[in-house]
Protein backbone atom coordinates (compact mmCIF):
# COMPACT_ATOMS: atom_id res chain seq x y z
CA UNK A 1 0.00 0.00 0.00
CA UNK A 2 1.48 3.31 -1.08
CA UNK A 3 1.67 6.09 1.53
CA UNK A 4 3.17 8.53 -0.93
CA UNK A 5 1.38 11.80 -1.59
CA UNK A 6 1.83 11.07 -5.29
CA UNK A 7 2.15 8.06 -7.52
CA UNK A 8 5.95 8.22 -7.46
CA UNK A 9 8.38 7.57 -4.66
CA UNK A 10 7.88 9.83 -1.65
CA UNK A 11 10.27 12.71 -1.13
CA UNK A 12 12.69 12.42 1.79
CA UNK A 13 10.99 15.19 3.80
CA UNK A 14 7.57 13.64 3.58
CA UNK A 15 8.90 10.18 4.43
CA UNK A 16 10.93 11.54 7.36
CA UNK A 17 7.93 13.40 8.78
CA UNK A 18 5.78 10.31 8.32
CA UNK A 19 8.28 8.19 10.23
CA UNK A 20 8.57 10.67 13.11
CA UNK A 21 4.79 10.99 13.23
CA UNK A 22 4.59 7.20 13.44
CA UNK A 23 7.18 6.95 16.23
CA UNK A 24 5.58 9.71 18.29
CA UNK A 25 2.14 8.21 17.85
CA UNK A 26 3.27 4.71 18.68
CA UNK A 27 5.51 5.48 21.65
CA UNK A 28 3.99 8.66 23.10
CA UNK A 29 0.40 7.84 22.16
CA UNK A 30 -0.37 5.92 25.38
CA UNK A 31 0.75 8.87 27.51
CA UNK A 32 -1.30 11.31 25.46
CA UNK A 33 -4.29 8.97 25.72
CA UNK A 34 -4.08 8.81 29.52
CA UNK A 35 -3.69 12.58 29.78
CA UNK A 36 -6.62 13.17 27.42
CA UNK A 37 -8.97 10.65 29.01
CA UNK A 38 -8.24 11.79 32.57
CA UNK A 39 -8.61 15.41 31.42
CA UNK A 40 -12.04 14.62 29.99
CA UNK A 41 -13.09 13.00 33.26
CA UNK A 42 -11.81 15.94 35.28
CA UNK A 43 -13.73 18.42 33.14
CA UNK A 44 -17.01 16.51 33.45
CA UNK A 45 -17.01 15.76 37.17
CA UNK A 46 -17.80 19.04 39.02
CA UNK A 47 -21.50 18.14 39.09
CA UNK A 48 -20.67 14.62 40.29
CA UNK A 49 -18.50 16.08 43.05
CA UNK A 50 -21.28 18.43 44.12
CA UNK A 51 -23.61 15.44 44.35
CA UNK A 52 -21.12 13.23 46.20
CA UNK A 53 -20.36 15.88 48.80
CA UNK A 54 -23.77 17.50 49.04
CA UNK A 55 -23.83 17.02 52.81
CA UNK A 56 -20.57 18.91 53.28
CA UNK A 57 -21.21 21.63 50.71
CA UNK A 58 -24.81 22.57 51.50
CA UNK A 59 -27.11 23.20 54.43
CA UNK A 60 -30.86 23.62 54.83
CA UNK A 61 -30.52 25.97 57.79
CA UNK A 62 -31.92 29.45 57.14
CA UNK A 63 -31.20 32.71 58.87
CA UNK A 64 -28.43 35.26 59.27
CA UNK A 65 -24.87 33.85 59.25
CA UNK A 66 -22.84 34.00 62.44
CA UNK A 67 -19.59 36.02 62.51
CA UNK A 68 -16.63 34.31 60.87
CA UNK A 69 -14.89 34.28 64.24
CA UNK A 70 -17.59 32.00 65.66
CA UNK A 71 -17.49 29.76 62.58
CA UNK A 72 -13.71 29.45 62.88
CA UNK A 73 -13.94 28.63 66.58
CA UNK A 74 -16.45 25.87 65.80
CA UNK A 75 -14.06 24.40 63.22
CA UNK A 76 -11.16 24.68 65.67
CA UNK A 77 -13.13 22.85 68.35
CA UNK A 78 -13.74 20.09 65.81
CA UNK A 79 -10.10 19.83 64.64
CA UNK A 80 -8.27 20.27 67.94
CA UNK A 81 -5.15 22.27 68.64
CA UNK A 82 -2.65 20.36 66.52
CA UNK A 83 -3.84 21.63 63.10
CA UNK A 84 -2.70 25.02 61.82
CA UNK A 85 -5.39 27.32 60.44
CA UNK A 86 -4.36 28.32 56.90
CA UNK A 87 -7.35 29.95 55.19
CA UNK A 88 -11.07 30.56 55.36
CA UNK A 89 -13.57 30.58 52.50
CA UNK A 90 -16.83 32.18 53.64
CA UNK A 91 -20.07 30.62 52.43
CA UNK A 92 -20.63 31.98 48.89
CA UNK A 93 -24.40 32.17 49.28
CA UNK A 94 -27.34 31.08 51.42
CA UNK A 95 -27.59 27.35 51.73
CA UNK A 96 -23.85 26.77 51.34
CA UNK A 97 -21.20 26.10 53.96
CA UNK A 98 -18.06 27.90 55.01
CA UNK A 99 -14.73 26.16 54.49
CA UNK A 100 -12.22 26.54 57.28
CA UNK A 101 -8.96 25.03 56.06
CA UNK A 102 -6.14 23.64 58.13
CA UNK A 103 -2.63 22.38 57.53
CA UNK A 104 -2.28 18.90 58.95
CA UNK A 105 0.44 16.29 58.75
CA UNK A 106 0.29 13.60 56.09
CA UNK A 107 -1.21 15.64 53.25
CA UNK A 108 0.33 16.28 49.83
CA UNK A 109 1.65 19.73 48.82
CA UNK A 110 -1.15 22.28 48.30
CA UNK A 111 -3.63 20.04 50.12
CA UNK A 112 -5.60 21.18 53.16
CA UNK A 113 -8.06 19.62 55.52
CA UNK A 114 -11.27 21.57 54.97
CA UNK A 115 -13.86 21.66 57.75
CA UNK A 116 -17.34 22.57 56.44
CA UNK A 117 -19.26 24.74 58.88
CA UNK A 118 -22.94 25.68 58.75
CA UNK A 119 -22.67 29.49 58.89
CA UNK A 120 -26.03 29.85 60.64
CA UNK A 121 -26.14 27.02 63.18
CA UNK A 122 -22.33 26.59 63.48
CA UNK A 123 -22.83 22.86 63.03
CA UNK A 124 -20.00 20.85 61.47
CA UNK A 125 -21.18 19.33 58.20
CA UNK A 126 -18.04 17.26 57.68
CA UNK A 127 -14.38 17.43 56.74
CA UNK A 128 -12.62 16.62 53.47
CA UNK A 129 -9.25 17.09 51.83
CA UNK A 130 -9.25 20.06 49.43
CA UNK A 131 -6.61 20.88 46.83
CA UNK A 132 -5.25 24.24 45.74
CA UNK A 133 -7.07 27.38 44.76
CA UNK A 134 -9.58 25.38 42.74
CA UNK A 135 -10.71 23.72 45.97
CA UNK A 136 -11.26 20.33 44.35
CA UNK A 137 -12.33 17.59 46.73
CA UNK A 138 -11.17 13.94 47.00
CA UNK A 139 -13.03 12.55 43.97
CA UNK A 140 -11.62 15.12 41.56
CA UNK A 141 -8.26 15.20 43.34
CA UNK A 142 -7.82 11.52 42.50
CA UNK A 143 -8.58 12.17 38.82
CA UNK A 144 -6.41 15.28 38.81
CA UNK A 145 -3.43 13.32 40.17
CA UNK A 146 -3.86 10.75 37.39
CA UNK A 147 -3.84 13.57 34.88
CA UNK A 148 -0.95 15.35 36.55
CA UNK A 149 1.47 12.58 37.56
CA UNK A 150 -0.25 9.16 37.60
CA UNK A 151 -0.21 9.22 41.42
CA UNK A 152 3.56 8.80 41.27
CA UNK A 153 4.41 12.17 42.76
CA UNK A 154 7.14 14.35 41.28
CA UNK A 155 8.66 11.64 39.02
CA UNK A 156 5.28 11.08 37.44
CA UNK A 157 5.22 14.63 36.08
CA UNK A 158 7.53 13.49 33.28
CA UNK A 159 4.64 11.55 31.77
CA UNK A 160 2.38 14.59 31.43
CA UNK A 161 5.23 16.75 30.15
CA UNK A 162 6.06 14.09 27.56
CA UNK A 163 2.43 14.08 26.39
CA UNK A 164 2.13 17.88 26.25
CA UNK A 165 5.53 18.29 24.58
CA UNK A 166 4.70 16.01 21.66
CA UNK A 167 1.00 16.73 21.19
CA UNK A 168 1.48 20.00 19.32
CA UNK A 169 4.24 18.57 17.13
CA UNK A 170 2.29 15.42 16.28
CA UNK A 171 -0.79 17.51 15.51
CA UNK A 172 1.07 19.89 13.18
CA UNK A 173 2.93 16.99 11.57
CA UNK A 174 -0.36 15.25 10.96
CA UNK A 175 -1.73 18.40 9.31
CA UNK A 176 1.23 18.52 6.92
CA UNK A 177 0.86 14.83 6.10
CA UNK A 178 -2.87 15.28 5.45
CA UNK A 179 -2.24 18.26 3.19
CA UNK A 180 0.43 16.43 1.19
CA UNK A 181 -1.79 13.40 0.78
CA UNK A 182 -4.71 15.37 -0.63
CA UNK A 183 -3.27 15.07 -4.15
CA UNK A 184 -3.16 11.29 -3.79
CA UNK A 185 -6.22 10.77 -1.62
CA UNK A 186 -7.54 7.97 -3.78
CA UNK A 187 -4.66 5.76 -2.69
CA UNK A 188 -5.88 3.09 -0.34
CA UNK A 189 -9.56 4.06 -0.66
CA UNK A 190 -11.96 1.19 -0.09
CA UNK A 191 -9.66 -0.67 2.31
CA UNK A 192 -9.91 -0.85 6.09
CA UNK A 193 -6.65 1.04 6.43
CA UNK A 194 -7.79 3.77 4.04
CA UNK A 195 -11.07 4.26 5.89
CA UNK A 196 -9.31 4.44 9.24
CA UNK A 197 -6.76 6.91 7.89
CA UNK A 198 -9.56 9.10 6.52
CA UNK A 199 -11.26 9.36 9.91
CA UNK A 200 -7.92 9.69 11.70
CA UNK A 201 -7.06 12.66 9.48
CA UNK A 202 -10.47 14.27 9.70
CA UNK A 203 -10.54 14.22 13.49
CA UNK A 204 -7.01 15.59 13.63
CA UNK A 205 -7.75 18.47 11.25
CA UNK A 206 -11.05 19.43 12.88
CA UNK A 207 -9.60 19.42 16.41
CA UNK A 208 -6.15 20.76 15.50
CA UNK A 209 -6.54 24.14 17.23
CA UNK A 210 -7.88 22.48 20.38
CA UNK A 211 -4.90 20.10 20.45
CA UNK A 212 -2.48 23.01 20.10
CA UNK A 213 -4.27 24.88 22.88
CA UNK A 214 -4.19 21.91 25.26
CA UNK A 215 -0.53 21.28 24.49
CA UNK A 216 0.61 24.86 25.11
CA UNK A 217 -1.45 25.38 28.26
CA UNK A 218 -0.46 21.94 29.55
CA UNK A 219 3.21 22.79 29.14
CA UNK A 220 2.81 25.76 31.50
CA UNK A 221 2.24 23.25 34.34
CA UNK A 222 5.15 20.98 33.37
CA UNK A 223 8.38 20.73 35.32
CA UNK A 224 11.10 21.59 32.81
CA UNK A 225 9.33 23.24 29.90
CA UNK A 226 7.02 25.01 32.36
CA UNK A 227 10.01 26.53 34.15
CA UNK A 228 11.37 27.80 30.83
CA UNK A 229 7.98 29.26 29.92
CA UNK A 230 7.80 31.01 33.28
CA UNK A 231 11.28 32.46 32.78
CA UNK A 232 10.38 33.66 29.28
CA UNK A 233 7.21 35.31 30.57
CA UNK A 234 9.21 37.05 33.28
CA UNK A 235 11.75 38.37 30.78
CA UNK A 236 8.97 39.69 28.54
CA UNK A 237 7.13 41.13 31.55
CA UNK A 238 4.13 38.92 30.82
CA UNK A 239 3.83 37.57 34.35
CA UNK A 240 0.84 37.90 36.63
CA UNK A 241 1.24 40.98 38.85
CA UNK A 242 2.24 39.98 42.36
CA UNK A 243 0.67 41.22 45.57
CA UNK A 244 3.17 42.83 47.94
CA UNK A 245 2.37 41.64 51.46
CA UNK A 246 5.38 43.23 53.16
CA UNK A 247 4.49 45.63 55.95
CA UNK A 248 6.33 48.80 56.80
CA UNK A 249 7.28 48.92 60.50
CA UNK A 250 4.58 51.52 61.19
CA UNK A 251 1.86 49.54 59.40
CA UNK A 252 1.91 46.77 61.95
CA UNK A 253 1.46 49.03 64.95
CA UNK A 254 -0.31 52.24 63.88
CA UNK A 255 -4.09 52.27 63.72
CA UNK A 256 -5.66 53.45 60.48
CA UNK A 257 -8.54 55.90 60.56
CA UNK A 258 -11.17 54.35 58.35
CA UNK A 259 -14.82 54.31 59.29
CA UNK A 260 -15.81 51.95 62.06
CA UNK A 261 -12.26 50.55 62.35
CA UNK A 262 -10.74 53.87 63.38
CA UNK A 263 -8.71 53.75 66.56
CA UNK A 264 -9.27 50.05 67.21
CA UNK A 265 -6.69 47.31 67.44
CA UNK A 266 -8.31 44.53 65.44
CA UNK A 267 -5.69 41.89 66.13
CA UNK A 268 -7.77 40.23 68.82
CA UNK A 269 -6.49 37.68 71.31
CA UNK A 270 -3.95 35.26 69.87
CA UNK A 271 -4.47 31.67 70.98
CA UNK A 272 -1.73 29.17 71.69
CA UNK A 273 -2.17 27.51 68.28
CA UNK A 274 -1.83 30.81 66.39
CA UNK A 275 -5.54 31.36 65.60
CA UNK A 276 -6.74 34.92 65.47
CA UNK A 277 -10.38 34.32 64.67
CA UNK A 278 -11.75 37.78 65.43
CA UNK A 279 -9.48 39.41 62.85
CA UNK A 280 -11.06 37.51 59.96
CA UNK A 281 -14.31 39.47 60.18
CA UNK A 282 -12.51 42.82 60.27
CA UNK A 283 -10.11 41.97 57.44
CA UNK A 284 -13.00 40.75 55.28
CA UNK A 285 -15.01 43.90 55.96
CA UNK A 286 -12.02 46.06 55.02
CA UNK A 287 -11.45 44.09 51.81
CA UNK A 288 -15.09 44.50 50.80
CA UNK A 289 -14.76 48.23 51.30
CA UNK A 290 -11.65 48.18 49.09
CA UNK A 291 -13.60 46.72 46.17
CA UNK A 292 -13.43 42.94 46.62
CA UNK A 293 -16.89 41.90 45.47
CA UNK A 294 -16.81 38.30 44.21
CA UNK A 295 -19.04 35.79 45.97
CA UNK A 296 -16.24 33.23 46.20
CA UNK A 297 -13.44 34.53 48.43
CA UNK A 298 -10.51 33.24 50.41
CA UNK A 299 -8.94 34.90 53.44
CA UNK A 300 -5.37 33.91 54.20
CA UNK A 301 -3.68 35.01 57.41
CA UNK A 302 -0.11 36.22 57.38
CA UNK A 303 2.66 33.71 57.96
CA UNK A 304 4.48 36.17 60.23
CA UNK A 305 3.80 39.59 61.85
CA UNK A 306 5.74 41.43 59.14
CA UNK A 307 3.29 40.35 56.44
CA UNK A 308 -0.22 41.49 55.59
CA UNK A 309 -3.26 39.26 55.39
CA UNK A 310 -4.60 38.50 51.92
CA UNK A 311 -8.21 38.48 50.74
CA UNK A 312 -8.47 37.00 47.25
CA UNK A 313 -11.29 36.55 44.80
CA UNK A 314 -11.20 32.99 43.46
CA UNK A 315 -14.09 33.00 40.99
CA UNK A 316 -12.52 31.91 37.70
CA UNK A 317 -15.72 31.60 35.73
CA UNK A 318 -16.78 34.38 33.39
CA UNK A 319 -16.30 37.23 34.09
CA UNK A 320 -13.04 36.36 35.78
CA UNK A 321 -12.77 37.70 39.34
CA UNK A 322 -9.32 37.22 40.81
CA UNK A 323 -8.66 40.59 42.47
CA UNK A 324 -6.58 40.55 45.65
CA UNK A 325 -5.89 42.94 48.49
CA UNK A 326 -3.34 42.94 51.28
CA UNK A 327 -4.62 44.19 54.65
CA UNK A 328 -2.48 45.02 57.68
CA UNK A 329 -4.22 43.17 60.55
CA UNK A 330 -3.24 45.71 63.21
CA UNK A 331 -4.22 48.94 61.45
CA UNK A 332 -6.72 47.59 58.87
CA UNK A 333 -4.85 49.54 56.20
CA UNK A 334 -4.95 48.20 52.65
CA UNK A 335 -1.25 48.02 51.88
CA UNK A 336 -1.49 46.73 48.31
CA UNK A 337 -4.11 45.78 45.77
CA UNK A 338 -4.07 43.91 42.46
CA UNK A 339 -7.01 44.02 40.06
CA UNK A 340 -7.52 41.67 37.14
CA UNK A 341 -8.50 44.56 34.88
CA UNK A 342 -4.96 45.95 35.23
CA UNK A 343 -3.25 42.68 34.27
CA UNK A 344 -1.16 42.80 31.08
CA UNK A 345 -2.93 41.16 28.16
CA UNK A 346 -0.51 38.23 28.21
CA UNK A 347 -1.26 37.60 31.89
CA UNK A 348 -5.00 37.71 31.20
CA UNK A 349 -4.61 35.26 28.31
CA UNK A 350 -2.61 32.94 30.55
CA UNK A 351 -5.29 33.06 33.24
CA UNK A 352 -8.08 32.44 30.74
CA UNK A 353 -6.09 29.71 29.01
CA UNK A 354 -5.47 27.76 32.20
CA UNK A 355 -9.09 28.10 33.31
CA UNK A 356 -10.37 27.04 29.89
CA UNK A 357 -7.98 24.06 29.96
CA UNK A 358 -9.56 23.01 33.26
CA UNK A 359 -13.09 23.48 31.93
CA UNK A 360 -14.13 26.18 34.41
CA UNK A 361 -14.03 29.42 32.40
CA UNK A 362 -17.54 29.31 30.90
CA UNK A 363 -19.11 26.64 33.06
CA UNK A 364 -20.91 23.74 31.42
CA UNK A 365 -20.19 24.77 27.78
CA UNK A 366 -16.48 24.84 28.61
CA UNK A 367 -16.75 21.44 30.31
CA UNK A 368 -18.47 19.90 27.29
CA UNK A 369 -15.95 21.40 24.87
CA UNK A 370 -12.94 20.14 26.81
CA UNK A 371 -14.45 16.68 27.23
CA UNK A 372 -15.42 16.41 23.55
CA UNK A 373 -11.99 17.45 22.31
CA UNK A 374 -10.18 15.19 24.78
CA UNK A 375 -12.33 12.19 23.90
CA UNK A 376 -11.85 12.99 20.22
CA UNK A 377 -8.11 12.81 20.80
CA UNK A 378 -8.56 9.41 22.46
CA UNK A 379 -10.50 8.15 19.43
CA UNK A 380 -7.82 9.50 17.09
CA UNK A 381 -5.12 7.60 19.00
CA UNK A 382 -7.13 4.38 18.94
CA UNK A 383 -7.59 4.75 15.18
CA UNK A 384 -3.87 5.29 14.80
CA UNK A 385 -3.08 2.08 16.68
CA UNK A 386 -5.61 0.20 14.62
CA UNK A 387 -3.95 1.47 11.44
CA UNK A 388 -0.58 0.27 12.72
CA UNK A 389 -2.02 -3.11 13.68
CA UNK A 390 -3.42 -3.69 10.19
CA UNK A 391 0.03 -3.01 8.71
CA UNK A 392 2.23 -4.27 11.50
CA UNK A 393 5.64 -5.65 10.43
CA UNK A 394 4.77 -9.23 11.40
CA UNK A 395 2.11 -9.44 8.71
CA UNK A 396 3.57 -11.04 5.59
CA UNK A 397 3.35 -9.33 2.26
CA UNK A 398 3.01 -5.85 3.75
CA UNK A 399 5.27 -2.89 3.02
CA UNK A 400 5.03 -1.65 6.58
CA UNK A 401 6.54 1.51 8.01
CA UNK A 402 9.68 -0.36 9.13
CA UNK A 403 11.12 0.10 5.63
CA UNK A 404 11.10 3.87 5.97
CA UNK A 405 13.90 4.40 8.46
CA UNK A 406 14.70 7.87 9.76
CA UNK A 407 18.42 7.53 9.12
CA UNK A 408 17.78 6.25 5.60
CA UNK A 409 15.83 9.39 4.76
CA UNK A 410 18.24 11.69 6.59
CA UNK A 411 21.02 10.52 4.28
CA UNK A 412 19.01 11.88 1.36
CA UNK A 413 18.54 15.31 2.92
CA UNK A 414 20.64 18.26 1.68
CA UNK A 415 23.34 19.46 4.11
CA UNK A 416 21.57 22.79 4.70
CA UNK A 417 18.33 21.01 5.59
CA UNK A 418 20.20 18.71 7.96
CA UNK A 419 21.79 21.70 9.69
CA UNK A 420 18.44 23.46 10.02
CA UNK A 421 16.79 20.35 11.48
CA UNK A 422 19.66 19.93 13.92
CA UNK A 423 19.33 23.52 15.12
CA UNK A 424 15.57 23.16 15.56
CA UNK A 425 15.93 19.82 17.36
CA UNK A 426 18.55 21.21 19.74
CA UNK A 427 16.45 24.30 20.42
CA UNK A 428 13.35 22.25 21.17
CA UNK A 429 15.41 19.89 23.31
CA UNK A 430 16.77 22.74 25.41
CA UNK A 431 13.37 24.38 25.80
CA UNK A 432 11.52 21.10 26.42
CA UNK A 433 14.14 18.61 27.73
CA UNK A 434 11.67 15.73 28.01
CA UNK A 435 10.91 16.08 24.31
CA UNK A 436 14.62 16.25 23.53
CA UNK A 437 15.42 13.07 25.44
CA UNK A 438 12.47 11.22 23.91
CA UNK A 439 13.58 12.30 20.42
CA UNK A 440 16.99 10.76 21.11
CA UNK A 441 15.21 7.58 22.17
CA UNK A 442 13.28 7.54 18.90
CA UNK A 443 16.49 7.89 16.90
CA UNK A 444 18.18 5.21 18.98
CA UNK A 445 15.29 2.80 18.39
CA UNK A 446 15.36 3.57 14.69
CA UNK A 447 19.10 2.96 14.52
CA UNK A 448 18.72 -0.40 16.28
CA UNK A 449 15.98 -1.47 13.87
CA UNK A 450 18.05 -0.37 10.89
CA UNK A 451 21.02 -2.30 12.18
CA UNK A 452 18.90 -5.41 12.68
CA UNK A 453 17.57 -5.10 9.14
CA UNK A 454 21.06 -4.91 7.68
CA UNK A 455 22.26 -7.88 9.75
CA UNK A 456 19.27 -9.91 8.69
Instruction: Write out pLDDT tens, residues 216-228.
Output: 999 999 989 999 9
What pLDDT, on a 0 to 100 scale, did the predictor assign at position 8? 40
pTM of the full predicted structure? 0.87
What pLDDT, on a 0 to 100 scale, did the predictor assign at position 322? 96
**Which H or E run contains 100?**
strand 98-103
Positions in the chain short of pLDDT 70: 1-10, 183-190, 250-274, 393-405, 456
**Which H or E run contains 131?**
strand 124-131
Residues whose CB is less than 8 angstroms from the CB of residue 376 and which lie 6 or more positions away in sequence, other chains included? 203, 206, 207, 210
What pLDDT, on a 0 to 100 scale, did the predictor assign at position 114? 98
Assigned fold of 60-136:
Nuclear Transport Factor 2; Chain: A, (3.10.450)
What pLDDT, on a 0 to 100 scale, did the predictor assign at position 270? 43
Among 376, 369, 377, smallest CA distance to 25 is for 377
**Strand bridging mode 98-103 / 111-117:** antiparallel
Q: So where are the chain's domains?
A: 12-42+151-236+361-455, 60-136, 259-342
Strands of 98-103's sheet in order across: 124-131, 111-117, 98-103, 84-89, 297-300, 309-313, 324-327, 334-338
- Tell me: the pLDDT tens digits for 385-402? 999 998 876 654 444 444
What pLDDT, on a 0 to 100 scale, did the predictor assign at position 334? 97
What pLDDT, on a 0 to 100 scale, did the predictor assign at position 398? 47
- Buried residues in 22-50 as b, exposed as e (16+ CB within 10 A): bbbbeebbebbbbbbbbbbbbbbbbeebe
- Buried residues in 389-424 as b, exposed as e (16+ CB within 10 A): ebbeeeeeeeeebbebbbebbbeeeeeeeeeeeeee
What pLDDT, on a 0 to 100 scale, did the predictor assign at position 456? 65
**Strand bridging mode 324-327 / 309-313:** antiparallel
Amino acid sequence: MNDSPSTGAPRWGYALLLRLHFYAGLLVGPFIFVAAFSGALFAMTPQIENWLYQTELTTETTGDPQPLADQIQAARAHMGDDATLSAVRPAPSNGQTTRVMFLVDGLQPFEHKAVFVDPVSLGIRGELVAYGTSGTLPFRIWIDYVHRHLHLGEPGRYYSELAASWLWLVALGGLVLWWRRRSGRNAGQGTNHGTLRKWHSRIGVVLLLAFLFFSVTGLTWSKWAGANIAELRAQLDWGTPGLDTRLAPSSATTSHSHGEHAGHDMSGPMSANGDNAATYDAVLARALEAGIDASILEIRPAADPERAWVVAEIDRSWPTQVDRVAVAPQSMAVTDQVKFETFPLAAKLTRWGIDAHMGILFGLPNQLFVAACALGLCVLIVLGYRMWWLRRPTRTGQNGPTRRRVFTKLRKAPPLALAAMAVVAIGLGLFAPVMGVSLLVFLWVDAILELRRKVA
